[in-house]
Amino acid sequence: MGKISLSLLGLMTLILGTGVWIGLGLIGTAAGLLMLYRPNLPFSKLLAQQTWNTLVSPEMLALPLFIFMADLLFRTKISEALFSGLAPWLRRVPGRLSHITVLGCTLFASVCGSSAATTATVGRITAKELISRGYDRDLVTGSLAGAGTLGFLIPPSTIMIIYGVMAEESILRLFMAGILPGLLMAAAYMGYIGIRAYLKPSLVGVTPPSTTLREKLVALKDLGPLLMLIIGVVGSMYGGFASPTEAAAVGVGGSMLIGFWQRTLNLQRLMEAARQAADSCAMIGLIMVGAMFLSTTIGYLGMPAYIAGMIEGWGLSPFALIVVLLIFYIILGTVMEGLGCIVMTLPITLPLVMAAGYSKVWFGIFIVIVVEMAQISPPVGFNLTVIQRLTGDSMARITRATMPFFFIMAGFVILIALFPGIVMLVPDMMSRP
């Protein structure tokens, strides 16, 4: 079995090292393993079967719809509305307008599902505006990098859909499980910003003029379209009126209405969003096919059971196992983007975690958070690249500014490992008769 493991690592390193797409690399690795160790197994038929089973899964239909919704919203004035609607309420809060980034990302994540789209949409207004008002540049970029990752954790989430399909777990339960951790992490970010601003008031510029209650209430109208969209998408799912796929369709329709109402969406921009969504879905679909094919292959070769037995021989406690996996994913995230981390490791790590007593839902939230950490880990962290395009800062400076939020996320992983009920509270409560 050690020979098979070395062959897996060698083939994957060799193929992916040539720069081919991840999906093709996974397919090539699986095919190579089968030809080496199971030559009598018709891998072409197995690949065709896995391709069909993966792409016709009902749960997968929600993925392109949520991606399309994010691309539509990126072409609206949602980011401007978030700033104008939230600013009057935060002028006297410790940290003042710095919190707009976190709150804006939290709200936008509730209808987006993409970390990069959340970062780009909220950041294109907040980053420039806050820096121009004298707010500390590193605090602005760091908070945007950290809060932008909430696009994966707060439902709906494209990563949760992919995990749910691979792990054969309910997408809706995963969405429910992400609510409380997402809100707590947003609160942790805001707490850190508030403490930094309290200790060093110069980080948040001059004190802005106060606003009346009437001005605050009037400003809320700018948030109206987004809040209605959140109610339509999230409320329909948790109210039992719609499945995740149906809620995604509601979100697409609502996003179109917002775009046409704001006069930012026309037929040309609609087609641009559709093409962009199609490109993203094709890429993700190919990766999913490759991941499922590789998962089936290593299952035939008996690798998960072998590795599980080997790690069991180490005598690790459940908590120690989670710490080891956290370190493993942090290291992996420095050289690979988040989706690749999931699809390449899930067939091996999921059985280990379940054997340690954690549920599939809990591990789904764990892996989403560590994927978020990969999003802000250099040199591959995609959120860092997005922020660099927005601000023009060097990657080294953005990375330094992001580190406090990276460590907050790492600490949060330890917290949910010690108290799994944080993750399971909402799904367990919603499932009670």
Q: What is the pLDDT of residue 376?
A: 83
Structure tokens at 194: 């508030």
Residues 6 or more apart whose CB falls under 8 angstroms from that of 310 comprise none
Q: Looking at per-residue confidence, does 71 or 296 come out higher?
A: 71
| Chain center to CA of 301 | 31
With cut-offs at 50, 70 and 90, classify the pLDDT of residue 379: low
**pLDDT for res 207:** 67
Model confidence pTM above 0.75: yes
CB-hemisphere CA count at 13 Å for 189?
32
**Using 50, 70 and 90 to split pLDDT, how confident is the model at 388?**
confident
What are the structure tokens assigned to 258, written together?
């917002």
Rounded-to-integer distance, Cα 410 and Cα 414, Å: 7
**How far apart are the C-alpha atoms of 121 and 70, rounded to whole Å?**
9
Which tens digit of pLDDT belongs to each residue from 258-267?
A: 888 888 888 8
| Average pLDDT of span 240-254 | 86
